[in-house]
Chain A
């Protein structure tokens, strides 16, 4: 155990992987809280898939493999995908989940077409864009972590600045509008911040698993509290915890890829919360029901505290 801790601090690779994963967990935990509360959890999934053609086009246009250029492309494509999604929902009879599926899959298909086109064209020097599909947390280097920290820091700062506005938008958008807040602009800002989280996640856990990073921590945190501020802090902690534990597990065990391991750890946290959370946990609910049922069958009137008279 102490060896592991020492490695966590002094081993260059592990430190970067754990730090990067923790940063992703924090940023996606915070932004995921809003997404889950606004019932837009799967938006992150669509955004992550929609980002792929952006990465490819950025590479085709600039020929650059610079991370920042590719991530900018990813961000722009993700953003276009979101706008298209909103247009489909607002202007057609198709429901939101159809719009999500359409944007997600067609953008991704286009991205795959471009990716394979790039790969066979430049096969002398593999473009190395594949890593965005499954993520390569294990290959994170210090520069990546610095970029994550800057991007994530900006996103978190904006959340802090607009805390009150986002809260109002999340719980009562109409009231927010009637008070004169530009709800559309706020909504776009919040979604753009989710794009930032997705951009960080693409490199760590990849396109497919990004949905879990946004939804998991927030869904778990929601079970423990009814206060937004507490939920956000908890969600960020769960995200970070899953990131670090996942990184440690995949570092110590053979054949555990980092991204999927992080997601599996997160899933454990989610199910634990669903079952045992103090206020809403399914186990407590089941015990309560059983006690009530027993009281009823005993025929005694239910007494406060759930105990029946002898």
Chain B
């Protein structure tokens, strides 16, 4: 398989496998646990390689998974002592594991291809050359096999335990009373996250795994409230980011994994601004419309109050309004424009008059 096919395909598979699990991490507020795990697998990976006397895939997997489980356990044990808060517990454990891994690499493995760059941002560029051979037959790039397997495992995990995951995520108390153990589900999730991180680690490195796990899911969360929709959406976002990043990286001759992550960041930024339900733009527009409605209602109430009074013409003149209501001219304009558009008021020689629907609205506003 050529690099032009193997690299983007690996990217898509890595992004999909990661994004699947990311949904639950985002919803369970455990995003930083993924950061901790992806760093902490380094010493386990190195120890596995040392024991197997070479970069052996299976040994690395076992070592790294054990390291990941050890990390989760250690973080939670420290959190349980209540001597430090949750974030600090993560911040104590994972740098220690990563430092240990770095020392191991320098001491034991200066000659193996686990160099600094590979640790931090992987070597997805070379996946096509690392092929899986069984009985002397070349079966294509190893990473594609590994990541496909992980995608299937994660899909099965979510598919089979969907109900349990959903329940323990949104209402752990209810889950426990119904007999689903939140603890078991939690550790199962951590286990699949660990093996996924190990698989992704070799392709995109320690730090960028985190991005592929949580950013697509966070983006999807900005777009929908339904878990059943959020999961496929996050996978699609991850896959699109992988492809887009690959294209950009090739044209700039820059790091492919870095560009993939940058693409997830860009998509997140777009969703943050333009999400139809939660985007900052929509929300600003909605807030403005809300202000305009309130202002228009205030205006018709003011007009109603002064309709019968002697100073009616003066109070309800356009010029007097901003003084009488202590509004800025801009706000007055907004209110008048809003109320006219809704057909609540009409302009009659210099002052404003309520229409019939306007009067009804004003009375209703006063009554409420």
Give chain A's interface residues, CB within 8 Å of chain B: 36, 39-42, 44-45, 49, 88, 91-95, 97-98, 100-102, 104-117, 120, 130, 133-134, 208-209, 211-212, 214-216, 218-219, 222-223, 255-257, 259-261, 263-264, 267, 270, 274, 280, 282
Contact = CB atoms under 8 A, between A and B. Distances in A.
B214 interface: yes
A79 B110 CA distance: 36
A218 B85 CA distance: 12
B174 interface: no
Residue from B78, B91, B265, B278 whose CB has the most chain A CB atoms within 10 Å: B91
B102 A41 contact: no
Contact of B103 (A133, A219, A257, A282): A257
B46 interface: no
Contacts of B249: 113
B83 interface: yes
Interface stretch (B32-40, B158-166, B312-320, B330-338): B32-40
B240 to A, nearest CB: 15
A102 B254 contact: no
Interface stretch (B23-31, B135-143, B354-362): B23-31
Given A263-B99, A267-B99, A42 B253 contact: no
A113 B210 CA distance: 16
Contacts, number: 208
Given A104-B210, A108-B207, A112-B255, A97 B98 contact: no
A94 B254 CA distance: 31
Contact of A116 (B116, B207, B255): B255
30 contacts: A39-B87, A39-B88, A41-B91, A42-B32, A45-B35, A92-B222, A95-B31, A97-B87, A98-B26, A102-B214, A104-B210, A106-B211, A106-B261, A110-B262, A111-B258, A112-B258, A114-B258, A117-B254, A209-B99, A212-B96, A219-B84, A257-B103, A261-B99, A263-B96, A264-B96, A264-B99, A264-B100, A267-B92, A270-B92, A282-B81
A94 B23 CA distance: 12
Contacts of A270: 92
Contact of A39 (B81, B85, B222, B253): B85
Contacts of B103: 255-257, 260-261, 264
B31 A98 contact: yes
Given A94-B218, A116-B258, A208-B98, A45 B91 contact: yes
Contacts of B94: 211
The 9 nearest A-B residue pairs measured at CB:
A109-B261, A106-B265, A105-B211, A112-B258, A212-B95, A113-B258, A260-B99, A215-B91, A116-B255
**Interface of chain A, main secondary structure:** helix
B265 A109 contact: yes
Contacts of A274: 78, 81, 83-84
Nearest to A264: B99
A105 B102 contact: no
B88 A215 contact: yes
A113 B255 contact: yes
B25 to A, nearest CB: 8
B244 interface: no
Interface residues of B, number: 60
A270 B107 CA distance: 24
Contact of B207 (A40, A49, A260, A264): A49
Contacts of B222: 92-94
B261 A98 contact: no
Contacts of B352: none
A110 B255 contact: no
A175 to B, nearest CB: 21
B201 to A, nearest CB: 14
Contacts of A219: 83-84, 88, 91-92
B350 to A, nearest CB: 43
A211 B26 CA distance: 21
Given A41-B85, A41-B87, A216 B92 contact: yes
B80 to A, nearest CB: 11
A282 B268 CA distance: 43
B253 to A, nearest CB: 5
Nearest to B264: A106
Contacts of A208: 39, 95, 98, 120, 206-207
Contacts of B262: 106, 109-110, 113
B221 A93 contact: yes
Given A42-B87, A208-B207, A274-B78, A113 B99 contact: no
B252 A117 contact: yes
Given A36-B84, A114-B258, A260-B99, 12 more contacts: A36-B88, A41-B87, A42-B32, A94-B26, A105-B214, A106-B262, A110-B265, A112-B257, A117-B254, A216-B92, A261-B99, A261-B103
